[in-house]
């Protein structure tokens, strides 16, 4: 992936897109809503039948991004070659503009734990992630984007701040970064990090995509609050604010609205995407003025 | 056995400890690796444990919608939790997860009063497999025409990946349809003692269909689908028109290819 401005790092225009779920397939195929692109979970299209047929129709009209949740880039035991092969099969069929995965792990002892688990931020984990990203990019014959996850725990023996860890993965492997602004907000709130410092530590030239989503707040024992990334509501004002700061730092970057639980009508997602698009347009105008000055 | 905090655990050790925590509820070692920071490790690990159980319960509910309706959400979630911890997924492609659930239900004492549940579950798993089977073109019949008639008996078909055969001791197909349609009248009319059924499941462009066969027709189809040469399947066929049945299978696109069995 060639470095450049944030927007230049991505093969799709810096527009707002929507995470597409099965329930909205018909509405998209029949209504062709005005949105820049769609992102789907790679794992949802590993079989045949209706979902893949629908996606064939949708990708005639929109760029598609493949977002994986099951590769387990941080696993110490090596990647599952069967899963990697399935990802390549989907990518060969769908011809996505972007392929992304997470800075996390989900497989141990051959068991899939169905979540994006936090990694210890150590040199050993960094080397493991880089080895797995290298293998993935070599096998898929393309660069991928790696996303910062929300996290709910930290390890005693971590030595590297997550933002620096992610920047190092990008620098060592040439992968891009999928900057999930909601996840930065959630993890910063859960662990007492400074979200602005996190953004400042990411290399603008590697940012290929931004994610926005809603999250929930859970009260645990002793009244302690934990923010949980459940993609089940609108983006909160504080995350919109952080998104504006991210755009100011990275420039206009393709931005995705994610919504997975309690899925609302497509119109609600389009409304959120329009809001992101307005901020992208505003950022582009600011850049224009700066260039003219 | 808690790890010494002075020694830095390897990534492998950390991941094994968290797996034991999530799957086996053994938090001992994992808790020692985690910063408490105002909240007990158990509370932090529970966030991941809840997603682990929740996501896999959802995967099972999507594969077994009729079982879910038959037993109700509370019972289903309880059974799913025990099954998930006993047989967690071996890969991240969750459409393939849950093949062991019918057998688990058959052995699950709390479900023993619903004797037909494992049969309905077996049918649902076959339907789920059909739904998610890869897209493969049906056999081009001109390839069959090109086979020397003297070799026809040696043809062993490759079944389409969406084709599945289920035998049940009760009318599992009728129960399955009535439950998914929430048709109480159809449900009330079911005679559980009406005897076994022989079913073929297949995905068509219009959706997945479940078709009843006679016992003899089903045995014939089953032999063809498990790679037996045509002559052996024909030798075993009686009481129905096997040629017409074979033509039906070919017309319905139930095979994707064939090979010629070499003589023993």
Pair B173, B190: CB distance under 8 Å = no
Are both B94 and B219 inside the same structural domain? no
Residue B112 distance to chain A (closest CA, Å): 29
Q: Do B40 and A114 touch (CB under 8 A)?
A: no
Question: A122: which residues sit within 8 A by CB, 6+ positions away?
Answer: A155, A157, A158, A159, A160, B8, B11
Which site among B8, B9, B14, B206 would you substitute to test the A interface, given the most A Cβ atoms closer than 10 Å to its Cβ? B14
What's the structural domain count of chain B?
2
C-alpha separations of B204 from A51, A104, B9, B103, B227 in Å: 14, 39, 52, 28, 22
Question: Please, which pLDDT band fits residue B230 given cuts at 50, 70 and 90?
Answer: very high
- Counting Cα atoms < 13 Å in the Cβ hemisphere of A44 gives 19
Cα–Cα distance for residue pair A183/A243, rounded to 1 Å: 11
Question: Please, which pLDDT band fits residue B6 given cuts at 50, 70 and 90?
Answer: low
Task: Output the pLDDT for position A229.
Answer: 94
Chain A hits for B22, CB-CB cut-off 8 Å, are 113
Within-domain flag for B89: yes
What's the structural domain count of chain A?
1
Residue B67 distance to chain A (closest CA, Å): 22
- State percent of chain A over pLDDT 70: 96
- Nearest 5°: CA angle at B43, between B38 and B49? 150
Q: Is the minimum CB–CB distance between B131 and chain A shorter than 8 Å?
A: yes
B61-76 pLDDT tens trace? 999 999 999 999 999 9
Q: Would you state the torsion angle of the CA atoms of residues B234, B239, B243, B246, taken in this order, to the nearest 10 degrees?
A: -80
Task: Output the pLDDT for position B263.
Answer: 67
Are both B167 and B108 inside the same structural domain? no
C-alpha separations of A22 from A39, A54, A55, A236 in Å: 12, 9, 10, 25
Average pLDDT value for chain B: 94
Q: Do A111 and B33 touch (CB under 8 A)?
A: no
Strand, coil or helix: B92 = coil
Task: Output the pLDDT for position B38.
Answer: 84
Are both B25 and B147 inside the same structural domain? no
Task: Output the pLDDT for position A10.
Answer: 63
Interface of B with A in 74-113 (CB under 8 A): 88-95
Cα–Cα distance for residue pair A82/A110, rounded to 1 Å: 12
CATH number at residue A190: 3.20.20.150
- The end-to-end CA distance of chain B, in Å, is 59
Are both B104 and B148 inside the same structural domain? no
Q: Which of A52, A153, A157 sits opposite B8 (nearest CB)?
A: A157
Task: Output the pLDDT for position B11.
Answer: 98
Q: Is the pLDDT of residue A222 over 90?
A: no
Average pLDDT value for chain A: 94
Chain B hits for A113, CB-CB cut-off 8 Å, are 18-19, 22-23, 48, 52, 88
* Domain boundaries, position B213: 135-264
Let me know if A281 is exposed, middle or buried by CB neighbors in 10 A (0-12, 13-18, 19+). Answer: middle
A35-55 pLDDT tens trace? 999 999 999 999 999 999 999
Within-domain flag for B139: yes
B120-153 pLDDT tens trace? 999 999 999 999 999 999 999 999 999 999 999 9
Pair B154, B264: CB distance under 8 Å = no
Are both B238 and B164 inside the same structural domain? yes
Residue B235 distance to chain A (closest CA, Å): 35
Chain A hits for B39, CB-CB cut-off 8 Å, are 220-222, 224, 226
**Shortest CA distance from A127: residue in chain B:** B11
Q: Do A47 and B38 touch (CB under 8 A)?
A: no
Chain A hits for B203, CB-CB cut-off 8 Å, are 49
Cα–Cα distance for residue pair A100/A64, rounded to 1 Å: 12
Strand, coil or helix: B146 = coil
C-alpha separations of A155 from A86, A125, A148, A165, B91 in Å: 32, 12, 16, 14, 26
Q: Which of B16, B43, B93 sits opposite A108 (nearest CB)?
A: B16
Q: Is the pLDDT of residue A228 over 70?
A: yes
Q: Is the pLDDT of residue B195 over 90?
A: yes
Q: Which of A86, A155, A221 sits opposite B93 (nearest CB)?
A: A86
Measure CA A179 to chain center.
6
Task: Output the pLDDT for position A12.
Answer: 82
The interface predicted TM-score (ipTM) is 0.93
Q: Is the pLDDT of residue B156 over 80?
A: yes
Are both B16 and B95 inside the same structural domain? yes
Task: Output the pLDDT for position A293.
Answer: 65
Within-domain flag for A244: yes
Within-domain flag for A80: yes
Interface of B with A in 158-177 (CB under 8 A): 162
Quick one: CA dihedral B58, B64, B66, B68, positive or negative? negative
Task: Point out the domain boundary residue: B85, B114, B143.
Answer: B114
Pair A36, A12: CB distance under 8 Å = yes
Q: Is the pLDDT of residue A7 over 70?
A: no
Within-domain flag for A85: yes
Task: Output the pLDDT for position B264.
Answer: 60
Residue carrying structure tokens 């099972």: B60
H/E segment holding residue A239:
helix A237-250
B35-92 pLDDT tens trace? 988 888 999 999 999 999 999 999 999 999 999 999 999 999 999 999 999 999 999 9
Which site among A112, A190, A226 would you substitute to test the B interface, given the most B Cβ atoms closer than 10 Å to its Cβ? A112
Q: Is the pLDDT of residue B1 over 50?
A: no
Cα–Cα distance for residue pair B121/B141, rounded to 1 Å: 35
Q: Do A49 and B136 touch (CB under 8 A)?
A: no
Within-domain flag for B121: no
A162-201 pLDDT tens trace? 999 999 999 999 999 999 999 999 999 999 999 999 999 9
Q: Is the pLDDT of residue A221 over 90?
A: no
Q: Do A122 and B88 touch (CB under 8 A)?
A: no
Question: Please, which pLDDT band fits residue B13 given cuts at 50, 70 and 90?
Answer: very high
Within-domain flag for B119: no
- Provide mean pLDDT across the span A251-263: 96
Q: Do A156 and B47 touch (CB under 8 A)?
A: no
Pair A234, A191: CB distance under 8 Å = no
Q: Which of A105, A111, A152 sits opposite B88 (nearest CB)?
A: A111
Residue A244 distance to chain B (closest CA, Å): 29
Q: Do B133 and A105 touch (CB under 8 A)?
A: no
Pair B124, B176: CB distance under 8 Å = yes
Question: Please, which pLDDT band fits residue B19 given cuts at 50, 70 and 90?
Answer: very high
Q: Is the pLDDT of residue B238 over 70?
A: yes
Q: Which of A43, A52, A75 sits opposite B15 (nearest CB)?
A: A75
Task: Point out the domain boundary residue: B81, B114, B147.
Answer: B114
Q: Do B15 and A49 touch (CB under 8 A)?
A: no
Within-domain flag for B120: no
Q: Is the minimum CB–CB distance between B9 and chain A shorter than 8 Å?
A: yes
Are both B108 and B11 inside the same structural domain? yes
**Shortest CA distance from B17: residue in chain A:** A108
Q: Do B95 and A220 touch (CB under 8 A)?
A: no
Task: Output the pLDDT for position B72.
Answer: 97
């Amino acid at each position: 992936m060639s470095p450049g401005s944030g927007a230049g790092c991505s093969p799709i225009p810096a527009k707002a897109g929507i995470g597409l779920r099965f329930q909205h397939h018909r509405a998209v195929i029949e209504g062709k809503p005005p949105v820049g692109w769609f992102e789907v979970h790679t794992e949802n299209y590993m079989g045949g039948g209706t979902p893949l047929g629908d996606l064939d129709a949708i990708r005639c009209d929109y760029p598609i991004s493949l977002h994986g949740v099951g590769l387990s880039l941080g696993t110490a035991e090596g990647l599952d070659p069967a899963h990697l092969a399935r990802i390549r099969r989907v990518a060969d069929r769908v011809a996505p503009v972007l392929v992304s995965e997470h800075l996390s792990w989900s497989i141990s002892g051959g068991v899939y734990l169905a979540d994006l688990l936090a990694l210890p931020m150590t040199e050993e984990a960094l080397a493991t992630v880089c080895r797995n990203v290298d293998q993935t990019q070599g096998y898929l014959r393309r660069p991928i984007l790696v996303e910062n996850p929300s996290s709910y725990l930290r390890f005693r023996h971590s030595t590297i701040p997550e933002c620096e860890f992610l920047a190092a993965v990008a620098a060592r492997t040439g992968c891009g970064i999928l900057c999930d602004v909601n996840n930065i907000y959630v993890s910063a709130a859960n662990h007492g990090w400074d979200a602005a410092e996190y953004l400042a530590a990411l290399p603008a030239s590697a940012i290929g995509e931004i994610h926005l989503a809603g999250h929930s707040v859970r009260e645990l024992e002793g009244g302690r609050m934990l923010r949980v990334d459940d993609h089940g509501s609108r983006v909160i004002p504080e995350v919109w604010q952080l998104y504006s700061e991210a755009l100011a730092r990275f420039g206009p970057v393709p931005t995705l609205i994610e919504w997975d639980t309690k899925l609302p009508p497509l119109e609600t997602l389009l409304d959120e995407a329009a809001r992101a698009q307005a901020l992208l347009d505003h950022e582009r105008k600011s850049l224009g003025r700066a260039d003219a000055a | 056995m808690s790890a010494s905090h002075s020694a830095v655990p390897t990534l492998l050790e950390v991941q094994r400890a968290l797996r034991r925590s999530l799957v086996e509820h053994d938090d001992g070692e994992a808790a020692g690796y985690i910063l408490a920071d105002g909240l007990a490790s158990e509370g932090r690990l529970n966030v991941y444990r809840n997603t682990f159980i929740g996501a896999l319960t959802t995967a099972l509910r999507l594969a077994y919608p009729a079982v879910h309706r038959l037993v109700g959400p509370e019972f289903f979630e309880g059974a799913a939790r025990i099954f998930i911890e006993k047989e967690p997924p071996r890969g991240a492609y969750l459409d393939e997860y849950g093949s062991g659930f019918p057998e688990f239900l058959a052995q699950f004492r709390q479900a023993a009063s619903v004797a037909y549940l494992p049969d309905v579950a077996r049918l649902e798993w076959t339907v789920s497999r059909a739904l998610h089977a890869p897209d493969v073109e049906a056999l081009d019949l001109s390839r069959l025409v090109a086979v020397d008639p003297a070799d026809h008996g040696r043809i062993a078909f490759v079944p389409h990946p969406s084709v599945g055969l289920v035998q049940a001791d009760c009318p599992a197909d009728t129960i399955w349809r009535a439950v998914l349609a929430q048709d109480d009248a159809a449900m009330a009319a079911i005679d559980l003692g009406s005897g076994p059924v022989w079913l073929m499941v297949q995905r068509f462009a219009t959706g997945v269909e479940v078709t009843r066969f006679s016992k003899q027709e089903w045995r014939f189809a089953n032999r063809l689908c498990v790679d037996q040469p045509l002559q052996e399947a024909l030798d075993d066929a009686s009481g129905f028109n096997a040629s017409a049945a074979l033509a039906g299978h070919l017309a319905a696109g139930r095979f994707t290819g064939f090979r010629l069995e070499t003589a023993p």
